[in-house]
Amino acid sequence: MTKLYALCDVDMIRQSGSDLAAFVARATSLGAEVLQYRNKRGDIASIKSDLIALRKFWNGFLIVNDHYELSGFCDGIHIGQEDLYAINPIPSRAIKILKMAIGEDKIIGLSTHNIHEIEIANTLDINYVGLGAYRSTDTKSDAKVLGESLDAIAAYSKHPVAAIGGVRLDDYFEHVTYRVIGSGLL
């Protein structure tokens, strides 16, 4: 059975009239093991403040999206393909640079969208891949939807796979370690 990975998108949480504490309570009640904090519009100070607040009531793994400079306030980071190549056009060098910046003990996750990106990820010293989108979502309107092929693509990964994008609590995958459930579904 796949484990639960909760995606804490601050914009979606606030739009729904909720807050971080309520989100964490719901994720905890569902047995989530990982919480990824995502804030696409916040400044560094507000993101840092939220990460500090989350540590007060979240006991699982805490991952920050994109902001590797804030890795000291969590267990690791999750980056996208564009972010990886912005660090260095050679993925293995980008990961080495990233590890020097955040430390060897931090978790690194990388978004992937197809077999080619999975094959590149297989050569990298990372902890897991996010693969998707499984379904279309409100937050990533431009995402290519993999649908049922996601599980077959996941079989190619040597890293644990987190299925991302429109995943529901009752979705089943054979080759996926984590189901990433977004803020709107928790």
With a cut of 90, say whether residue 46 has pLDDT above it. Answer: yes
Q: Coil, helix or strand for 172?
A: coil
pLDDT of residue 88: 97
SS3 assignment for 23-76: HHHHHHHCCCCEEEEECCCCCHHHHHHHHHHHHHHCCCEEEEECCHHHHHHCCE
Query: Is the CATH number 3.20.20.70 carried by domain 3-185?
Result: yes
Mean pLDDT (whole number) for 135-159 = 87
Task: Share the mean pLDDT of the chain.
Answer: 93
Give 186's pLDDT tier (boundaries 50, 70, 90).
Answer: low
Residue 10 has pLDDT above 80, yes or no: yes
Q: How far is CA 33 from CA 12, 122, 124, 140, in A?
A: 20, 23, 24, 24
Residue-range domain boundaries for the chain: 3-185
How do residues 25-45 score in pLDDT, each as one tens digit?
999 999 999 999 999 999 999
Q: How does DSSP assign 97-120, residue by residue?
A: HHHHHH-TTSEEEEEE-SHHHHHH
Q: How confident is the model at residue 182 (pLDDT cuts 50, 70, 90)?
A: confident
Residue 185 has pLDDT above 90, yes or no: no
Confidence of residue 51 (pLDDT cuts 50, 70, 90): very high
Q: Which amino acid is at 18?
A: S
